[in-house]
Amino acid sequence: MFEETIELKDIDKQDPEYKELLSRVLTIQSDCEIGGPHLYVEHILPSAPTKGYQVVVARTAAEEIDHFRKMARMAGEIGTDVSHVLKWGNDQRYVEAFRTTITTWEDYAVFGFLVDRVGKFQLDEFLDCSYAPLDRAVRTMEPEEEGHIEFGTVEAGDLAARGGEWKERVQKSVDYWYVKSLDMFGNSNSYRSERFRYWRLKRRSNADARAEYMAEVNPLIEKMGLTIPDPLEGRLYL
């Protein structure tokens, strides 16, 4: 296990595998941060149920763009240009969950409840990681990400509590995003995941992080009076 803590000035001296994995994780994290606003700004910002919610959507998009900015800056500092992901269409995203568009309010709420929660799990991976600038940046991003999750969780619960057609709509949305969320953790037998852990660029295995996520989110789904989807149906990565 790699024990050192690295600053930007030390990057040149690092093992090529370390630099490659750091570059990769910053690129994918950048893509995920900007991928969120690309899902909902076009349709949800103009159509949110109230003007107050429109402001929430705009602020959330700004915070995610700021998270992108921080990741892109760190990537740029080590010589990795991630600006291409700003030009990408949704169908080009690295992570499959972002290759779609959100057009309904319940999908926006459930996205915050389930997918932003995965985003928080991913940020947690970098706490006390070997690359100190990433550790410091994540600590500034997590409180905002927690706010997005809280909003999505409360709103999804409130919509489900209306019962009837609304509960069915939220259940359908949970069915869709739950599977996408589980896939976001990647393959349980990923060799690269082990190398990330060796270099202390991540803390948990994909399988462990996914299990912890399910342990957190499943009771919340049940508390909303909804059914936990089959965790294996429609999965791309096991």
Partner 1 sequence: MVEAAPNTEKLDAFLQDVVRAVKAACNTAAPHLKDPDLSSVDKAIVDCEEILDEVMDGHVDEWVA
Comparing CB distances to partner 1, the nearer of 30 and 206 is 30
The closest alpha carbon to 112, from 147, 162, 163, 69, belongs to 147
Taking the C-alpha atoms of residue 149 and residue 49, their distance in angstroms, rounded to an integer, is 19
Considering only the stretches 40-48, 125-133, 135-143, 162-170, report the one whose residues sit in contact with partner 1 under the rule CB under 8 A. Answer: 40-48
Taking the C-alpha atoms of residue 26 and residue 127, their distance in angstroms, rounded to an integer, is 14
The answer to whether the CB of 130 falls within 8 A of the CB of 203 is: no
Confirm or reject binding of residue 215 to partner 1 (CB under 8 A): no
Confirm or reject binding of residue 17 to partner 1 (CB under 8 A): no
Q: How far is the CB of 70 from partner 1 (least distance, A)?
A: 9
Q: How far is the CB of 99 from partner 1 (least distance, A)?
A: 16
Angle at 127 between CA 31 and CA 33, to 5 degrees: 15
Comparing CB distances to partner 1, the nearer of 41 and 207 is 41
Comparing CB distances to partner 1, the nearer of 42 and 146 is 42
Q: How far is the CB of 232 from partner 1 (least distance, A)?
A: 35
Comparing CB distances to partner 1, the nearer of 147 and 234 is 147
Q: Helix 132-161 vs helix 164-183: angle between axes, to the nearest 10 degrees? A: 160
Instruction: Look at residue 194 and give its three-state secondary structure.
Output: helix
Task: Restricting to residues 41-60, name those near partner 1 by CB under 8 A.
Answer: 41-42, 45-46, 51-52, 54-55, 58-59
Confirm or reject binding of residue 24 to partner 1 (CB under 8 A): no
The rounded Cα 122 to chain-centroid distance in angstroms is 6
Q: How far is the CB of 57 from partner 1 (least distance, A)?
A: 9
Print the binding letters for residues 58-87 with partner 1: x by CB under 8 A, - otherwise: xx-xxx-xx-xx--xx-xxxxxxx-x--xx
Instruction: Look at residue 90 and give its three-state secondary structure.
Output: helix
Confirm or reject binding of residue 143 to partner 1 (CB under 8 A): no
**Plot region of 12 (φ>0 → left; ψ -120 to 50 → alpha; else → beta):** alpha
Taking the C-alpha atoms of residue 134 and residue 1, their distance in angstroms, rounded to an integer, is 19
Radius of gyration of the chain (CA): 18
Residues that bind partner 1 (CB under 8 A): 8-9, 11-12, 37-38, 41-42, 45-46, 51-52, 54-55, 58-59, 61-63, 65-66, 68-69, 72-73, 75-81, 83, 86-88
